[in-house]
């Protein structure tokens, strides 16, 4: 290929050159908004009201072109902090129904510890995904284009 030649970003499906990088399609379809509203009414007497709202609006193309998301630590942390309460709960219920036995106490401790281990494994796997897999997915996403004619997502080249 010559140095002065222009790279063609045409769709491999329909041949259209009306293409856009996924990152551009995503960003151009997301917008922030805020609004103030007010009103006057009658309910036996004059009534005045006002409100304020804000949010994000997103096009369908932008949703399709969204970047890969990182995994959240929320559920793992939730389980980590609640495992000491969730794990023994069923066994406390059994103790209440059928009386206190050492088996239920041991099972409660073991189940609580198992839930803690599961939470730690969950957190480590989330950390590993976010540090190793997610950056690769992001780099891949940045290389993809979308055809604005037929909707095909492709890598130019």
Parent domain of 112: 61-155
**Within-domain flag for 2:** no
Please tell me the distance from the alpha carbon of residue 96 to that of residue 42, in angstroms, as a whole number. 59
In a domain, 4, yes or no: no
- Least confident range from 17-31, 43-57, 86-100, 136-150: namely 86-100
Of 57-61, 67-71, 73-77, 83-87, the poorest mean pLDDT is in: 83-87
* Domain contains 15: no
pTM above 0.75, yes or no: no
- Tell me if 129 is assigned to some domain: yes
Q: Which residues pair with 87 in a beta bridge?
A: none
Task: Please report the beta strands in 11-143, taking only residues with DSSP state E, as ranges in sequence order.
Answer: 19-21, 30-42, 46-58
pLDDT at 97 over 90: no
Mean pLDDT, the chain, rounded, equals 89
> Tell me, what's the pLDDT at 1?
44
Contact indicator for 155, 143 with CB cutoff of 8 Å? yes
Spatial neighbors of 123 by CB under 8 A, at least 6 apart, are 73, 76, 77, 80
- How many domains does the structure of the chain reveal? 1
> Is residue 43 in some structural domain?
no
């Amino acid at each position: 290929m010559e140095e002065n030649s222009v790279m063609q970003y045409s769709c491999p499906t329909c041949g259209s050159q009306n293409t856009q990088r996924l990152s551009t399609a995503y960003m151009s379809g997301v917008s922030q908004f805020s609004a103030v509203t007010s009103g006057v009414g009658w309910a036996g007497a004059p009534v005045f009201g006002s409100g304020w709202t804000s949010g994000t609006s997103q096009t369908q193309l932008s949703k399709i072109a969204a970047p890969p998301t990182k995994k959240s630590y929320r559920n793992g942390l939730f389980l980590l902090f609640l495992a000491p309460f969730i794990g023994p709960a069923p066994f406390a219920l059994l103790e209440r129904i059928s009386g206190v036995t050492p088996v239920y106490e041991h099972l409660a401790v073991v189940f609580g510890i198992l839930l803690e281990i599961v939470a730690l494994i969950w957190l480590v796997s989330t950390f590993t995904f976010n540090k190793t897999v997610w950056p690769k997915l992001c780099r891949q996403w940045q290389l993809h284009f979308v055809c604005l004619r037929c909707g095909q997502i492709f890598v130019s080249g």
